[in-house]
Amino acid sequence: MFPEDTSPGLKNEYSRVQTFNADESRILVRGVAATWYLYDAQTLQPLGQLPFGGSVDPRWDADNPDLLYYSDETRLMAYNVRTGAQTTVHDFAADFPGQTLSAVWTRYEGSPSLDSRYWGLMAEDQDYLTTALLVYDVQTDRVSAIRDLRGTAEINKEIDTVTISPLGNYFLAYFDDNCQPGRLGDDANPCGLMVYDRDLNNGRGLLDIVGHGDLALDSQGREVLIYQDLDTDNISMLNLASGVVTPLWPIDFSHTAIGLHISGRALRRPGWALVSTYNGGHPLDYTWMDDQVFAVELKASGWVVRLAHTHSLYDENQEQDYWAEPQASVNRDFTRVVFTTNWGRSGTGQVEMFLIELPVDWSELLP
């Protein structure tokens, strides 16, 4: 880290964010104090600090290994990591005349479509309430759909994050307002996890309450959500088109309040997702799932492939231990995995990243 950086450690951005650029030559790294760095993905040597900071949702372009997108208030920006050039891709303020917006972004966790063409975004006012959902098409430089929320109840403007689906077919909004037990949201009464067509019509509820999860592609190339099912205590798979839920593996909460993050970023190896856990038993784990990083096959009773023990000590009473959550993320073809750990230094914020490398044919080698 640079000397002026007060971060006590470095980590990958988040499980739902792609850490590696298009040709796997660079790694995006986050300082705990919201500073951003590039590292060489082969030598793991630092390449320098990026010229922006804060919560700016940096995302790699799908094809250009030098291009990194990020959000700056109402603007989607592009930064060329080779030349240092910064350009405005689109200023969304012009799409909302007469409104004073504070931000247009995914709000931390969303990603563009697999080809980087479509972006699912939310517009926030000066009170950081969501005034609109929107879909932006980079290829045509046009906002292709807007769903105006200004006339709705304030509870409908409190949205945790939004994203477009990997193939660009669906827009997902994670509402802070959970649904009433036994019901899902609908187009007129959104709650929980909502999905819309890319034109932001036909809103329908997927989940009444939202746990950690990520979008992925199953073995047949269908868009699915892999998530912690808070109703059944399973790692489950939800088909975005049909709404059908398939339980994948049970989560054992009998000993600890285990926490999970899921990464579906291996979109070039459909049928697999990455799971990382924290808050397992200490000093000894109770179950095989405690404090682990593992691959899960996206079918009922499919394979689980354990990859690493995180050695991260998490205490829910220590604020700094948020950074100790592994939040593991996988590259596009599931041959490289990064995760964060404090290696037992609870309460310090001192974390570092670890890299796991897998053979290209690892899934074919399973018996």
**Per residue in 125-175, pLDDT tens?**
999 999 999 999 999 999 999 999 999 999 899 999 999 999 999 999 999
User: Rounded to whole angstroms, how far apart are CA atoms 84 and 30?
Assistant: 18
Question: 50 CB contacts (<8 Å, ≥6 apart)?
Answer: 35, 36, 37, 38, 58, 68, 79, 81
Read off the pTM.
Answer: 0.97
Distances (CA, A) of 165 to 34, 62, 174, 239: 26, 14, 13, 12
Q: Which segments in the chain show pLDDT lower than 70?
A: 1
User: Considering only CA atoms, which of 212, 331, 359, 213 is closest in space to residue 265?
Assistant: 331
Pairing between strand 159-164 and 86-91?
A: unpaired
pLDDT tens digits for range 221-262? 999 999 999 999 999 999 999 999 999 999 999 888 899 999
- Spatial contact of 179 and 185, defined as CB atoms under 8 Å apart: yes
* 95 SS3 class: helix
Distances (CA, A) of 88 to 69, 70, 80, 97: 10, 10, 12, 19
pLDDT at 128: 95
pLDDT at 226: 99
pLDDT at 35: 97
pLDDT at 282: 74
Q: Long-range pairs for 2-5 at CB < 8 Å and ≥24 separation?
A: 2/35, 2/49, 5/31, 5/33, 5/35, 5/49
Helix (H) or strand (E) holding 75: strand 75-80
Helix (H) or strand (E) holding 274: strand 272-278
Question: Length of the chain in residues, anyone?
Answer: 367
Helix (H) or strand (E) holding 246: strand 245-250
